[in-house]
Amino acid sequence: MKNEVIKPVATALWLIENTMLTFEQIAGFCNLSLNEVKELADGFEKADLEPSNPIQKGQLTEEEIKRCERNSSFKLKISSLPLYGDINIKKSKRVFTPMSQRKDKISAAVFLFQNYPLTISQVIKLTKASKKTVEEIFSKTYAKIEDITPKDPISCGLCTAAALNEELAKTKKHDRH
């Protein structure tokens, strides 16, 4: 693993918004100038920047942040955890999904049921919607289902065309038997 912060400006923004670290600590960790960090905190350059969580990226631990929050003279140390795919990284079971994407999941599930011969489990896999929600959409018992505008899950960014084609190929394979 490199000892460099991935997306330093976005990481600094996340640290500013979510911790009690000093600007000096954030600047040192992200390899930014103190003025750059102050400008981020004041809202400059922030409009189109998405914060990047260094804990999810495996670059910091909550313990390291808390350690440095308790003593402003401490410097943040990049985590020795590998970035992705290793069993040492703790994966959160609950992931925040923005409200707009939650609506897209429902719209995408409706679209898939209307346009493709997919099973409930395939739609769950493609949209990452909950089993209960997809079952209600399938059985048409979902609240206000008539008000839902179907949306293509590929254009919503919920799945790729390759993933959809793979699921359709599985459906065709089962139809032949």
pLDDT digits (tens, 9 = 90+) for 94-120: 445 556 566 788 889 999 999 888 999
pLDDT tens, position by position, 22-68: 999 999 999 999 988 888 888 765 556 788 888 887 888 889 999 99
Q: What is the pLDDT of residue 48?
A: 66
Q: What is the pLDDT of residue 155?
A: 79
What's the pTM?
Answer: 0.46
Tell me the mean pLDDT in the region 152-165.
84
Measured between alpha carbons, how far is 42 from 47 in angstroms, rounded to an integer?
11
Contact between 98 and 50 (Cβ < 8 Å): no
Q: How far lies 162's CA from each of 159, 168, 169, in Å?
A: 8, 10, 10
pLDDT: which is higher, 155 or 135: 135
Domain ranges within the chain, ordered by starting residue: 8-70, 99-176
For residue 142, the Cα-to-chain-centroid distance in whole angstroms is 26
